[in-house]
Amino acid sequence: MDFAVKFAFDILAFTSVMVLVVLGLGVIASMMGIFNFAHGELVLLGAYTVYLSSELGLGTWPGLLAAPVVVGLIGLVLERTIIRRFYKAPIIAMLGTYAIGLIIREIVRGLLGGHYKSIPEPIGGAFSIGGLEFSIWRTMIIAITLAVIAGIYLLLARTSIGLRVRGALENPMLARACGISTGHLYALTFTFGAALAGLAGALIVPLYQLSADIGIRFLVQAFLSVMLGGVGTFEGPVIGAAAVGSLAAWLPWVVTPVLADPLVFVIALAIVRLRPQGFITVGRL
Amino acid sequence: MLPVIELAVFAALVVTPFLLADRTDLITLVTNVIILSLLALSFDLCWGFSGIMSFGQALFFGVAGYVVALVGRDLEFSQLWATLPLAMLVGGLLAAGLAVFLLLGKRTPSSIFVAFGTLTGAYAAERLVAGWQYVGAGNGLSAIRLMAFGDYEFVEGVEFYAVALAALALVYAASRYLVRSQMGLVLAGMRQNEERLAFFGYRVQVFKALVFSFAGMIAGLSGALYSYHQGFTGPSNLGPGLSTTAVIYCLFGGSGTLIGPVIGTAAIEVLSYVLADTDAIRQFWPVILGVVLLVVVAFQPSGLLGLLVSSRERIGSYGARKAVR
């Protein structure tokens, strides 16, 4: 029983990380129809912000708070200068964002000098319930993930910005005819997605060591999650991420880890092949 | 203009060994260029000619490389008349299998799904191989048995160069025949308007699957030659990293033409060789590659060749010119 609870907690923590990474990706993919290959590098930049602030002697907290803002602004600049050229051609957008990701990743690799850096958890230690130890920071990640999901849902469902976003998603042409500037909305969406990536990077860096490849390790899983859940919905990517995340955490217990890792991808791809519209099809945003 | 460029490139490749006979390092470099341009060519057949964005060409390249390495290790056999066709068979079958899974079926898959499918395939294969002891896990396979013909063994040098160039020439001729045939005409139509071709009754996905399998054969041949030439193969030879490098070769040279990938590979590999002496630049070489890709994608989609050749000529014409009666 103890083991089961602990195991469930670990799966939940890993799934939360996946959801955080996937949310930003899903928002951008739903709204503009492009899959952002540079998303992993935006996560990396969030992590790097935390590293910088702790290097400067400020501790990790200022970096943690600044990460979404900094990465969001970088996202805004990228969208205004480069990404907006690619909206009409999703495949070309993959190549373009891949190039941006490559540039960011290799610059950061150069700055880090190829070393792995460990960042201490902003709130270390553990608390115990009924004799079981739970890491405080992982619990924080789960809580923040839930808060972010709730916040985005409220933003989309209850505010006028959310209404405009839903309108532009449903029918961009009609939205433009109604006087909604889809260009601004796309810039806003991309900034928001990038900020989410920055937050994800800042939150997960204490769990994994900081290296230039911290973002890319989640990228393929994140893409599959978005496709699995269904592009164009809010719940889809979250459910997809939960499915892929728990599959990735659970499968190594069933088959040998060597085989489990690739098997996650094959299973997810096979499901997408059989159900290309994703899990969620009714009640699109 | 295009045939002139093609002739010039092949003439340059033929005279190279005579000019550089005493510079083994440069011969090795150009041999590498020839082998990698086969990989770039196979990507070009997918993207430039049939509209499949393949982020997984290295999968066929790498698996074929591993197969010839294992045949050399476990069967102690490396006769090129058998292993190179075997590599092509492996690459072709693997690509055909992937194409059946990704492309064929009742529902037409979206181009994004196909792109992710190839990416995922390469990524999963890299992770699998990196953890599999039988194939050397993360260390890969080194000291691969030398490619042989009868008793003669090919080491790096002019003889290996000749084999690689012969392979490139054969593949190039076959691809040129393919894209200028009636099937090539269908492919050109698909590039213009895929839906319309489908309404005409062409099974668009079947054509794509055929070209994809053919490209897989070429990638397999390339991978086998690469393994023999390097004497080493590792997990990174079948991952998305090398696949995207092939994408950069092809787009930089000019996709949608057959000579473009060869020129792109040569340009990038030679540039990398020249710049590798400077430490500061070598460290940021991937950044330069990224900038090149970004500039090409955003501003010059027809690549280097687009500067020389008009788009009318790139698209080409089909059939013999006949007087209209």
For the segment B234-286, what is each residue's pLDDT rounded down to a tens digit? 888 888 889 999 999 999 998 888 999 999 999 999 988 888 777 777 778 88
Per-residue buried b or exposed e for A43-74, using 16+ beta carbons within 10 Å of the residue's own CB: bbbbbbbbbbbbeeeeebeebbebbbebbbeb
How many percent of chain B have pLDDT more than 70?
97
φ and ψ at residue B78, rounded to 5 degrees: -150, 35
Is the CB of B280 inside 8 Å of chain A's CB atoms? Answer: no
Domain positions in chain B: 2-315
Work out the pLDDT band at B325, boundaries 50, 70, 90.
Answer: low
**CA of A242, closest CA in chain B: separation in Å?**
19
How many percent of chain A have pLDDT more than 70?
98
Query: Which of B111, B132, B294 has the CB atom closest to A258's CB atom?
Result: B132
Choose from A103, A226, A264 for mutation: most chain B CBs within 10 A: A103
Is the CB of B200 inside 8 Å of chain A's CB atoms? Answer: no
Number of neighbours of residue B113 by Cβ within 10 angstroms: 17
Supply the DSSP symbol for B144.
Answer: P
What is the per-residue pLDDT across B142-185, written as a single tens digit (0 to 9) for each?
878 888 888 888 888 888 899 999 999 999 999 999 988 888 88
| Residue A215 CB burial class (10 angstroms; 0-12, 13-18, ≥19) | buried
pLDDT score of B323: 57
| Residue A39 CB burial class (10 angstroms; 0-12, 13-18, ≥19) | buried
Among B41, B67, B32, smallest CA distance to B216 is for B41
- Asked if the model's pLDDT at residue A18 lies above 90, the reply is no
Q: How many C-alpha atoms does B240 have within 13 Å on its Cβ side? A: 20
Q: Which residues in chain A have their CB less than 8 angstroms from residue B109's CB? A: 273, 276
* CB proximity under 8 Å: B 46-75 to A: 53
Supply the DSSP symbol for A200.
Answer: H
φ and ψ at residue A95, rounded to 5 degrees: -65, -45
Among A36, A112, A111, A110, smallest CA distance to A74 is for A36
Cα B281 to the center of its chain, rounded Å: 27
What is the per-residue pLDDT across A122-170, written as a single tens digit (0 to 9) for each?
777 777 777 777 788 888 888 999 999 899 889 888 888 888 888 888 8
Among B56, B9, B5, smallest CA distance to B246 is for B56
Number of neighbours of residue A105 by Cβ within 10 angstroms: 23
Name every residue whose Cβ is closer than 8 Å to that of residue A239 and which is 6 or more positions away in sequence: A229, A279, A280
What is the per-residue pLDDT across B28-63, written as a single tens digit (0 to 9) for each?
899 999 999 999 999 999 998 888 889 989 999 999
Work out the pLDDT band at B96, boundaries 50, 70, 90.
Answer: very high
Measure the CA–CA gap between A98 and B22, rounded to whole angstroms: 40
Work out the pLDDT band at A285, boundaries 50, 70, 90.
Answer: very low
**Which neighbouring-strand residues pair with A127?**
A134
Write out the DSSP string of B89-130: HHHHHHHHHHHHHHT-SSSPPPHHHHHHHHHHHHHHHHHHHH
pLDDT score of B250: 93
Higher pLDDT, residue A278 or B84: B84
- Asked if the model's pLDDT at residue A283 lies above 60, the reply is no
- Asked if the model's pLDDT at residue A277 lies above 60, the reply is yes
Among A219, A214, A212, A188, smallest CA distance to A203 is for A214
Per-residue buried b or exposed e for B262-273, using 16+ beta carbons within 10 Å of the residue's own CB: bbbbbbbbeeee
φ and ψ at residue B94, rounded to 5 degrees: -60, -45
Work out the pLDDT band at A281, boundaries 50, 70, 90.
Answer: low
Contact flag B53-A94 (C-beta cutoff 8 Å): yes
Choose from A25, A88, A94 for mutation: most chain B CBs within 10 A: A94
**Which neighbouring-strand residues pair with B153?**
B148
Measure the CA–CA gap between B91 and B67, rounded to whole angstroms: 10
Q: Which two tokens stand for residue B251?
A: 């787009």
Alpha-helix runs per DSSP H in chain A: 2-32, 39-55, 60-81, 90-112, 136-158, 160-170, 172-177, 182-204, 216-229, 235-250, 257-274
What is the per-residue pLDDT across A93-123, written as a single tens digit (0 to 9) for each?
888 999 999 999 888 888 887 778 777 777 7
Number of neighbours of residue A190 by Cβ within 10 angstroms: 25
Indicate if the alpha-carbon torsion angle B147, B151, B152, B156 is positive or negative. Answer: positive
Q: Which two tokens stand for residue B160?
A: 């290996």
Chain-wide mean pLDDT for chain A? 84
Number of neighbours of residue B166 by Cβ within 10 angstroms: 11
Domain positions in chain A: 12-214
Q: Which residues in chain A have their CB less than 8 angstroms from residue B293's CB? A: 95-96, 98-99, 102
A233-237, A281-285, B143-147, B320-324: segment of lowest average pLDDT: A281-285
Name every residue whose Cβ is closer than 8 Å to that of residue A52 and which is 6 or more positions away in sequence: A63
Angle, nearest 10°, between helix axes A60-81 and A39-55?
140
Q: How many residues does chain B have?
A: 325
What is the per-residue pLDDT across B100-130, written as a single tens digit (0 to 9) for each?
998 887 778 888 888 888 998 998 898 889 8
pLDDT score of A282: 55
Angle, nearest 10°, between helix axes A182-204 and A136-158?
170
- Asked if the model's pLDDT at residue B324 lies above 70, the reply is no
Q: Which residues in chain B have their CB less than 8 angstroms from residue A40's CB? A: none
